[in-house]
Structure 1
Amino acid sequence: MAITTTTHLNFRGQAREALSYYRSVFGGEVSLFTYEQAQRAKSPAENELITWGQVLSDAGFHVMAYDVQPERDWSPGTIPFFVSVRGQDAAEIQGYWDKLVEGSTVVEPIGPAGWSPLYGMVKDRFGVTWVLDVEVAYAG
């Protein structure tokens, strides 16, 4: 039996925009399900909010997101998590980086690191901190 873990991001009214943006960076397909479709909207203002959404690419990128309802407490916090994107192809990682940094704040510029020939950290316009690096096989 195998399991997978998927980063699930919580937003306040920005899930649709964020998932569209992440699809533009990593490719794949966006799936969205609104509160209205789920018959969970408590007011007309909630109808188009996302109760479940994801981006899933053939390359293996997968992220999920939803909009926290207005009556629930929500705060993006201060770096409560990182989304790690790791691959074996430096050109692929660099390509993701080049798209992700547009309109974002670079925390660590992409470049060589002690554990990877290519590593960088960026906080995107939605407040999500991403780390991208090239995976290296280690002799153990």
Structure 2
Amino acid sequence: MSIDVTPHLNFRGRARAALEHYRSVFGGELVIATYGDLGSQDPAEADQVVFGQVISPDGFRVMAYDVPAARPWSAGDDPFFVSVRSADPAEITERWERLAEGATVVQPLGPAAWAPLYGMLTDPFGVTWVLDVAPAG
């Protein structure tokens, strides 16, 4: 049996921009359906994302949507981290450099006691990312 886990990120009006950013970092296919696509009559939310995802050939997956105004929503304080791990330091470094554009670096990418490379940053959309290289062994 196999199971996939995909982070599903919730935004208020910023899901499209976030998904486009993640596609620019990780590559892959971007799929977006809007509330308008599903027949919403609310012009204020018609262009907002009801379903969105990025799936790249190397296995990266993320989903996102815009929480409708009728539902309560708060970004909160560090409610989750998205972890990206690879055995390849060059791959992690490349992704780090792309994600770091416009981000707040919490922990610079570098050696850690538990990993050859580890770093944490919060992107312009408020999502905290943890990138690391899996230890050998």
Q: Give TM-score scaled by structure 1 length.
A: 0.95
Q: Secondary structure of 1:16's partner?
A: helix
AA aligned to 1:123 is T
Amino acid at match of 2:116: P
Name the structure 1 match of 2:42.
43
SS where residue 9 of structure 2 aligns? strand
Distance 1:93 1:108 in 2: 14
Q: Quote the offset at 1:42 in angstroms.
A: 4.6
Q: Which amino acid aligns with 1:120?
A: G
1:137 CA displacement: 3.7
Match of 2:26 in 1: 26
Within a 5 Å distance, the mapping from 1:1-140 to structure 2 comes to 1-39=1-39, 41-138=40-137
4+ aligned runs moved over 3 Å, structure 1: none
Q: What SS does structure 1 have at the residue aligned with 2:44?
A: helix
Amino acid at match of 1:29: E
| Structure 1 residue 60: Cα displacement | 0.6
Percent identical among aligned pairs is: 59
Take 2:9 and 2:136, find their aligned partners in 1: how far apart are those partners? 29
How big is each residue's C-alpha offset from its partner over 1:98-121, in whole Å with a ceiling of 9 and x where there is no partner? 000110100000000111100000
* Structure 1 residue 50: Cα displacement: 0.4
Q: Partner amino acid for 2:90?
A: A
Distance, in Å, in 2 between the alignment partners of 1:119 and 1:137 is 14
Structure 2 spans left out of the alignment, 5+ residues: none
Question: In the TM superposition, what whole-angstrom CA distance separates every residue of 1:36-95 from its partner, at most 9, and x where no partner exists?
Answer: 1122x2511111110000000001100000000011111110000000000010000000
Give the paired residue count.
137
State the distance in 1 between where 2:38 and 2:114 align: 45
RMSD over aligned Cα, in angstroms?
Answer: 0.9
Give distance in 1, aligned partners of 2:2 and 2:116. 30
